[in-house]
């Protein structure tokens, strides 16, 4: 990989992650500082962490947060099949995680620690998923494209998407290929939005960072086979099943050009 020389200065990693706010709602990560408190602190304290949501044990209320989220998505979309709602809920959460991580990598040149135990969420909220980081502390790592891409992959792929996918496969029987296709689609979408912001604001270095990071991340073994790419354009090799939602169709990056009419489990892998 050719390392790029970035001359656009990075922002300091501030306790409110304010540099993410101009990027749009999917990139914003709200923060709670327990020592300072604030009006939102009691509410956030009642919300479960993503770490608890990823557990396969559903014996307590927080363990059921992911199930609650899938049921919420199902009710809002009218999706009768649980695996369809699970897929759509998964892609939405993946998009939030990729957006936050890429936004921090491009704006700050480093990531805050995005450990699932530090991220709280409200499974009853609307889109985009409501995420709160309870402690802002820098994750170790360099500022070049390769170290940053590795840090993002460790945080998102291994820290979140692997345990999330295992839980959804266990509970709803969603195919692994579909879920990694969702992850690839969400990554491509986040990179396009970040690149669009950078170009609209004449931040050519930020656009270059975004593209370099996307290239490096799509080289990851779990993402490399999820679709075909041309720059930031992406066409996935699987289908998220949105066409099975009442009034739904195929997405812009779907492997299908029109909704399939074959087996109910078409394109599940």
- pLDDT tens digits for range 92-113: 999 999 999 999 999 999 999 9
Whole-angstrom distance, CA of residue 198 vs CA of residue 179: 29
Q: What is the pLDDT of residue 35?
A: 46
Task: Give dist(CA 158, CA 138) in Å, integer.
Answer: 18
Q: Answer whether the bond into residue 193 is a cis peptide, omega within 30°.
A: no
State the average pLDDT over residues 127-139: 91
User: Does the pLDDT of residue 226 top 80, yes or no?
Assistant: yes
Q: Is the pLDDT of residue 199 over 70?
A: yes
Average pLDDT of the chain to the nearest whole number: 88
* Residue 268 vs residue 84, higher pLDDT: 84
Give the DSSP letter string of the chain: -PPP---SPPPP--TT-GGGGGG-TTT--EE--TTT--TTHHHHHHSPBHHHHH-S--SSTTTTHHHHHHHHHHHHHT--SHHHHHHHHHHHHHHHHHHHHHHHHHHHSS-B---TTTEEEETTS-SSPEEEES---BPP--SSHHHHHHHHIIIIIIIIIHHHHHHHHHHH---HHHHHHHHHHHHHHHHHHHHHHHHHTT-HHHHHHHHHHHHHHHTSTTTTTSEEEETTEEEESS--SGGGSTT----TT-S-SS---S-TTTT--
The reported pLDDT for the residue numbered 8 is 60
- The 10 Å Cβ neighbour count of residue 36 is 9
The pLDDT of residue 261 = 73
Mean local confidence (pLDDT), 53-74: 79
* Mean pLDDT calculated for residue range 176-196: 98
Return the pLDDT at 208.
95
Q: Is the pLDDT of residue 130 over 60?
A: yes
């Amino acid at each position: 990989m050719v390392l790029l020389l970035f001359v656009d200065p990075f922002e300091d990693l501030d306790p409110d992650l304010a540099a993410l706010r101009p990027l749009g709602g999917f990139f914003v990560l709200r923060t709670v500082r327990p020592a300072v408190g604030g009006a939102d602190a009691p509410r956030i304290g009642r919300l479960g962490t993503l770490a608890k949501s990823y557990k396969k044990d559903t014996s307590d209320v927080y363990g059921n947060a992911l199930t609650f989220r899938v049921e919420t998505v199902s009710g809002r979309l009218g999706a009768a099949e649980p695996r369809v709602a699970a897929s759509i809920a998964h892609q939405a959460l993946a998009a939030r995680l990729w957006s936050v991580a890429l936004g921090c990598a491009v704006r700050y040149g480093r990531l805050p620690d995005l450990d699932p135990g530090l991220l709280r969420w409200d499974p009853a909220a609307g889109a985009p998923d409501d995420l709160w980081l309870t402690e802002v502390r820098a994750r170790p790592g360099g500022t070049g494209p390769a170290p940053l891409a590795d840090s993002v992959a460790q945080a998102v792929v291994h820290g979140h998407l692997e345990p999330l996918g295992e839980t959804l496969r266990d509970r709803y029987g969603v195919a692994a290929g579909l879920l990694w296709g969702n992850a690839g689609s969400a990554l491509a979408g986040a990179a396009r939005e970040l690149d669009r912001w950078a170009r609209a604001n004449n931040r050519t270095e930020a656009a270059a960072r975004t593209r370099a990071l996307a290239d490096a991340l799509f080289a990851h073994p779990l993402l490399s086979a999820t679709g075909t790419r041309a720059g930031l354009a992406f066409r996935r090799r699987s289908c998220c099943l949105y066409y099975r939602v009442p009034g739904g169709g195929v997405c812009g990056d779907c492997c299908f050009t029109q909704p399939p009419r074959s087996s109910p489990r078409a394109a599940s892998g």
